[in-house]
Amino acid sequence: MARNLGAAGYEVTVWNRTPERCEPLREAGAAVAATAGEAVSGSDITFATLSTPEAALAVGAEVAASIRPGCGYVDVSTVDAGTAAQISKAVQAAGGAYLEAPVSGSKGPAEAGQLIFLAGGDRALFERARPALDVMGKAAFYLGPVGAGAGMKLAVNQVMGTMMASLAEGLALAAQAGLSQAELLEIISLGAMANPMFKLKGGSMVEGAYPTAFPLKHQEKDLRLALELGARVGQPLPVAAAARQLYEQALADGHGDDDFSAVLEAVYVDRIE
**Does position 119 bind its own copies by CB under 8 A?**
no
**Does position 182 bind its own copies by CB under 8 A?**
no
**Does position 187 bind its own copies by CB under 8 A?**
yes
**Minimal distance, residue 141 CB to its own copies, in Å:** 6
In this structure, are strands 97-100 and 115-121 parallel, antiparallel, or unpaired? antiparallel
**Does position 52 bind its own copies by CB under 8 A?**
no
Q: Which of residues 247-266 bind its own copies (CB under 8 A)?
A: 248-249, 251-253
Closer residue to its own copies (CB): 11 or 228: 228
**Does position 242 bind its own copies by CB under 8 A?**
yes
**Does position 12 bind its own copies by CB under 8 A?**
no
**Does position 148 bind its own copies by CB under 8 A?**
yes
Q: What CA–CA distance (Å, rounded) separates 90 from 61?
A: 7
Is 199 known to be catalytic? Answer: no
Closer residue to its own copies (CB): 96 or 137: 137
Find the catalytic residue in 153, 199, 201, 221.
153
**Does position 158 bind its own copies by CB under 8 A?**
yes
**Does position 146 bind its own copies by CB under 8 A?**
no
Q: Are 136 and 112 in contact (CB under 8 A)?
A: no
Q: Which of residues 91-110 bind its own copies (CB under 8 A)?
A: 104-105
**Does position 215 bind its own copies by CB under 8 A?**
no
**Does position 186 bind its own copies by CB under 8 A?**
yes
**Does position 136 bind its own copies by CB under 8 A?**
no
Binds its own copies by CB under 8 A, chosen from 31, 123, 163, 212: 163
**Does position 165 bind its own copies by CB under 8 A?**
yes
Closer residue to its own copies (CB): 91 or 171: 171
Length of the chain as a residue count: 273
Closer residue to its own copies (CB): 121 or 170: 170
Closer residue to its own copies (CB): 124 or 179: 179
Q: What CA–CA distance (Å, rounded) separates 249 from 255?
A: 9
**Minimal distance, residue 227 CB to its own copies, in Å:** 8
Neighbours of 144 (CB within 10 A): 14
Please give the positions annotated as active site. Answer: 153
